[in-house]
Structure formats: structure tokens, C-alpha cells
Amino acid sequence: MKKYLFIIIMIVATLAANAQSLSITDSVVSSNAFINLPLQPHKRNVDIFFNSDKPKQPYYNIRVIDVSGSNVYQDLLNAIQVKARNEGLDGLIILGKENYNTYYGHISYSVNKLSAIGVKYKNNMQYVNHIVKKAVILHNDSLEVDTINFNLNSKIITNNNPSAISLYEDSIKLFYLCDYYATHKMPSNAVKNYDETAFSTTIKIDNPFGNVRYKILYTSDSVLFKVQIKTHPNDEQIEGKIYDVKYDLNKDNTINKRYVRQGRKAEPLFIDSYQYDADKHFIRFSRYDEKAKRISLQVNYTYFTMNDLPQIN
């Protein structure tokens, strides 16, 4: 009888502890619901908040994160701070630590898990000024204008013209990754080549149109030589495409022109000329069609500002 009474007491205590933990979580979340915002890794200190403490500056609740492992509480705190920093979070509202048993083969062992609500300080989100809010495409042939709007996570949110989205995905967005490698240092995972260049790295990206393989080639001085793009179509497309992309950079390492050739023979396709504002925002490019010998389209970009961030209750 004592044994069963002890079990009942333990169950009640566990339920009470869980209810208390849930009520704390609900009170934290309800005042500032979870929200999906773009984050960037950083090297700043990550603030820790216990019990009912909350950040004193405006913040967003992003998501719950956790770490498992050590029996030493400070080790768990250190680990969850590192994880938060890598994920772009600024603060952690600690929910609590729990212990559970897991198995490795037939051996049972105890594991500790620390959970927290990851928060982002609004004042640390100035980087949204570099996220494109709207792209306006002017077609010089027809004088038609297509507007594509994006959310803060760079997803298309409004456009009633499927052909405009296809043009954006296939002929504009396709080259964004090339632009990044044109203006950044050679990655440490680049490997030695034995052909026309010295080093290269390869990246594969899946998208609704199939998958795209980027081969980024560098000279012996670790300077970008060119980017080779191969698109591998899905079942609805007949064949993929091959592009060679080279760049002319300005003295401040921004892009002046992008030269794109197509096919195995690398025939000239188009040249994109870039324009910037006083803050070095890339605001416009004009595309010169090398076959038609004229400007075929122009794309104008508008960026988000801090005022576009969601209101905090």
C-alpha cells in the first residue's frame, strides 16, 4: 500500500511541476508570440533571463531551443548560449532543465536537457536594411512592368503573373549566389584543381524547377575566376542549362558588371550593369542582350527598413 501511495504522490508531484512549467512558458509567450524573422549569426554576448525576468528592451520571441548533455548546469548554459549565438539570437529566457533516460543498445543512461525561449532584440536588426522588399522589372521590349514583393525572409508574397515569377527565378535569382562569391573571400573548403584554375568549390541547391549546381573556380591567387552553373531539370522540363559567369569589380569590391555566357560553347548571352546608392545598396541593374545588341530589361530594388519590422505588443 505504501508503495502505491508513493507512486501516486510522485505522479501528482510530476504533474504539478509540469503544470507550473507550462504556466511559466505560456505567460512568457502570450505577451510576445513566436514570430518568424530573418536572423544572422553574431559574436555578441547572449543574455540569460531566469524565472520571470524578461529583456528590458523591445524584443521578439523567435522559438524554443534546447541543448542536451552535461550534468553540470553551467556547461549546459554555455552550450545553449553558443547555439543561440550561432542561430542569431540575442537572449534566452530559461524554461528549465529536465532529466530523461535514453538507451545506447541495451544500456540506459541519464541525459540532462536545458530549454529556453530564444529572443531577438529589435535594435539589433539593422541588417534588414539589406533585405530586398520589392523588385520592379521593366521589360524594354513591351514596356510592361512586373512588381514582385517579398517578405522579410525573402519569400515572394504577391505577384499575379506566373511568367514574371519564372523570369525572376530563372534569370535573376539564379545568379544571386554567384554575386556572393564574386565579392567574398575564397571559402576554406575549396579544393585543388588541375585544369585552367587552381581551386574550386561546388554547391548544390534544390528548387521547384529541379536542382542547380554551382562550381566556383579561383585562380592561384585565390581570386574568383568564374562560376559555372548547371541546372538539372525536374520531370516536367526537357533539359537543363549551362552558364559561365564572370565579373568586373569596382575598387570597393562591389560589382560593376556581370558577364553571362550560355551553353557548352560559352556563347555570349547578356551583360548586367550594376548601380548603387550612397549607402552602397545595390538598387538597379540593366541587362544588355548580347545577341539582340540592346538593353532588354531593367530591375529596380527597394529594401526593407527598421520601420517595416512587426510591432511589439
HEC string for 196-210: CCCEEEEEEEEECCE
| Predicted local distance difference test score (pLDDT) of residue 300 | 97
- Which three three-digit cell numbers place residue 228? 559555372
Per mean pLDDT, which range of 8-12, 122-126, 174-178, 303-307 is the poorest?
Answer: 8-12
State yes or no: pLDDT of 8 exceeds 50.
no
Q: Give me the pLDDT at residue 30, please.
A: 42
User: In the predicted model, what is the mean pLDDT of residues 92-116?
Assistant: 86
At residue 237, does pLDDT exceed 70? Answer: no
> Mean pLDDT throughout 193-205?
71
Whether the per-residue pLDDT at 20 is higher than 70: the answer is: no
State the pLDDT at residue 207.
57
Query: Which pLDDT score, from 0 to 100, does residue 14 have?
Result: 35
Quote the mean pLDDT of the chain.
84
- Domain borders along the chain are 2-123, 126-308
**Helical (H) or strand (E) element with 226:** strand 224-233
Residue keyed to cell 573556380: 217
Distance CA 101, CA 109 (A): 6
Q: Give the model's pLDDT for residue 75.
A: 93
Top-confidence range, 40-49, 95-104, 228-237: 40-49
Of 219, 221, 216, give the one whose Cα is nearest residue 182.
216
| 262 vs 213: CA distance, rounded Å | 15
Alpha helix (H) ranges present in the chain?
2-30, 73-86, 162-171, 176-182
pLDDT of residue 1: 43
- pLDDT of 2 strictly over 90: no
Which residues, 6 or more positions from 194, have their beta carbon under 8 angstroms from its beta carbon? Answer: none
Which of 24-38, 216-230, 295-309 is modeled with the greatest confidence? 295-309
Find cell 555566357 and name the residue: 261
Q: Is the pLDDT of residue 216 over 60?
A: yes
* Mean pLDDT across 263-286: 94
> How many alpha carbons fall within 13 Å on the CB side of residue 267?
7
Q: Is the pLDDT of residue 232 over 60?
A: yes
CA 241, CA 4: separation in Å to the nearest integer?
A: 71
Residue 6 has pLDDT above 60, yes or no: no
Q: Which helix (H) or strand (E) holds 94?
A: strand 91-104
Is 50 exceeded by the pLDDT of residue 29? no
3-state DSSP assignment of residue 107? strand
Most confident of 120-124, 158-162, 196-200: 120-124
238 — pLDDT class (breaks 50, 70, 90): low
CA nearest neighbour of 203 among 222, 221, 228 = 228
Position 258 pLDDT exceeds 50: yes
301 class by beta-carbon count within 10 Å (0-12 exposed, 13-18 middle, 19+ buried): middle
Among 121-125, 156-160, 214-218, 279-283, top mean pLDDT goes to: 121-125
pTM above 0.85, yes or no: no
What's 2-123's CATH class?
Answer: alpha beta
For the cut 60, the answer to whether the pLDDT of residue 262 exceeds it is yes
